[in-house]
């Protein structure tokens, strides 16, 4: 009897050991999706050290799907995940008050690199980076002079000059408009470059240019209203630099186009003809936000990231410019003139104003 009890105990202990071993089996639960309801990043493409790196991004106002600035940056980070396996995540900033908390959230979660997307992050980035000297940060469209921040800006004025040349040569009414988001230095660079480009080829149109700052990057209704006012005044080409507010400019142009009016929009940051159609998008002033975010992020992964560095990308770096799809609506002779001015800017023969 004692032998049977002993045998049973041995069997029970053996089963307990097996079940315990199964229950504690190791699993790779690396989370590459965004938390808090945000759109998730792609699954890791590789394993190893890079899959442990975490890169976060706090958006500018306008949302991650603004079809412009924020979206370009997020697409870059999704590509980083696909190519390297690094974990990426974004937090949306609805306004200035969200920017500092969003940066701090990534720091508290031990992210290896935290992006601030946009000029409005300057103060928040300065404060958070100063308080967290062992954390790494990167900033688009502004400069923070700290050893743990890499700043990337663009010569928006140079690219805007080129689309100004297009608008000045192609307007039929000699009336051209500019719709800006907020009246801040980076957007003033768009305006200044655009007006200078128009003036170079059509001084009369430059003198009468309509300019409207809607005061927000996330209000398509304000963009639509601004565009309607301009089109009613005879403007036939509008260049917008207003983030998601510019979606309203496109919507107004489409309704006018559908009604038989010959009006156009010049897009910004991305090739916006791919989103809104080339029937209303004359061309776009592209910024290499996606390229810059991808490069700086992969520099971190490759061990070549440089804190305290300031990079400015212009025409000579292909950091700004027109998309290849411009050939659909812009005649060859106009594009030739654009190339002529581009080379003059690169050579230094023309210095484009910034304000």
Q: What is the pLDDT of residues 144-173, one digit of tens each?
A: 999 999 999 999 999 999 999 999 999 999
CATH of 156-286+323-347, one of 3.40.50.300, 1.10.10.10, 3.40.50.2300, 3.90.1300.10: 3.40.50.2300
Q: In the chain, which residues fall in CATH 3.40.50.2300?
A: 49-154+290-316, 156-286+323-347
State mean pLDDT over 269-288. 96
Is the backbone of residue 46 left (phi > 0), alpha (psi -120 to 50) or beta?
beta
Pair 120, 61: CB distance under 8 Å: yes
Residue from 114, 58, 78 nearest 290 by CA? 78
What residues contact 95, with CB distance under 8 A and at least 6 apart? 61
Q: Which fold has domain 49-154+290-316?
A: Rossmann fold (3.40.50)
pLDDT digits (tens, 9 = 90+) for 199-232: 999 999 999 999 999 999 999 999 999 999 999 9
pLDDT given for residue 85 in this prediction = 95
- Of the candidates 158, 163, 157, 206, the residue with the CA atom closest to the CA atom of residue 338: 163
Helix (H, G, I), strand (E, B) or coil at 211: strand
Query: Which strands form 264-269's sheet, in the order they lie side by side?
Result: 210-213, 176-180, 237-241, 264-269, 281-287, 320-321
Give Cβ neighbours of residue 3 (< 8 Å, ≥ 6 apart).
none
Residues 18 and 298: their CA atoms lie apart, in Å, by: 44
Q: Poorest-confidence range of 5-14, 232-241, 298-307? A: 5-14
CA–CA dist 149, 318 (Å, integer):
23
Statement: residue 33 has pLDDT above 90:
no
**pLDDT, tens only, 296-316:** 999 999 999 999 999 999 999
Q: What is the pLDDT of residue 129?
A: 98
């Amino acid at each position: 009897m004692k032998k049977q009890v002993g045998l049973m105990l041995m069997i029970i202990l053996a089963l307990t050991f097996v079940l315990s071993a199964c229950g504690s089996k190791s699993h790779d639960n690396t989370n590459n999706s965004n938390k808090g309801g945000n759109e998730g990043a792609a699954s890791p493409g590789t394993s190893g050290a890079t899959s442990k790196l975490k890169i976060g991004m706090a958006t500018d106002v306008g949302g991650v799907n603004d079809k412009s600035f924020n979206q370009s940056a997020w697409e870059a980070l999704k590509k980083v995940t696909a190519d390297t396996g690094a974990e990426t995540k974004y937090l949306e900033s609805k306004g200035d008050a969200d920017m500092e908390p969003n940066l701090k959230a990534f720091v508290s979660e031990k992210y290896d690199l935290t992006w601030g997307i946009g000029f409005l992050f300057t103060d928040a980035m300065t404060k958070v980076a100063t308080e967290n000297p062992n954390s790494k940060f990167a900033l688009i469209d502004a400069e923070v002079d700290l050893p743990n921040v890499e700043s990337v800006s663009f010569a928006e004025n140079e690219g805007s000059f080129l689309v100004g040349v297009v608008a000045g040569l192609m307007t039929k009414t000699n009336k051209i408009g500019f719709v800006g988001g907020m009246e801040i230095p980076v957007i003033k660079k768009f305006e200044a470059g655009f007006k200078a480009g128009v003036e170079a080829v059509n001084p009369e149109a430059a003198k009468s240019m309509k300019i409207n700052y809607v005061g927000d990057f996330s209000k398509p209704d304000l963009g639509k209203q601004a565009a309607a006012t301009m089109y009613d005044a005879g403007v036939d080409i509008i260049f917008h630099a207003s983030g998601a507010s510019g979606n309203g400019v496109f919507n107004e142009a489409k309704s006018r186009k559908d009604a038989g009016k010959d009006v156009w929009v010049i897009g910004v940051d991305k090739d916006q003809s791919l989103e809104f159609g080339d029937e209303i998008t004359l061309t776009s002033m592209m910024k290499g936000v996606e390229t810059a975010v991808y490069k700086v992020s992969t520099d971190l992964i490759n061990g070549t990231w440089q804190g305290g560095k300031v990079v400015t990308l212009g025409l000579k770096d292909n950091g700004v410019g027109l998309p290849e799809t411009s050939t659909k609506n812009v005649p060859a002779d106009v594009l030739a003139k654009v190339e002529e001015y581009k080379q003059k800017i690169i050579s230094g023969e023309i210095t484009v104003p910034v304000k």
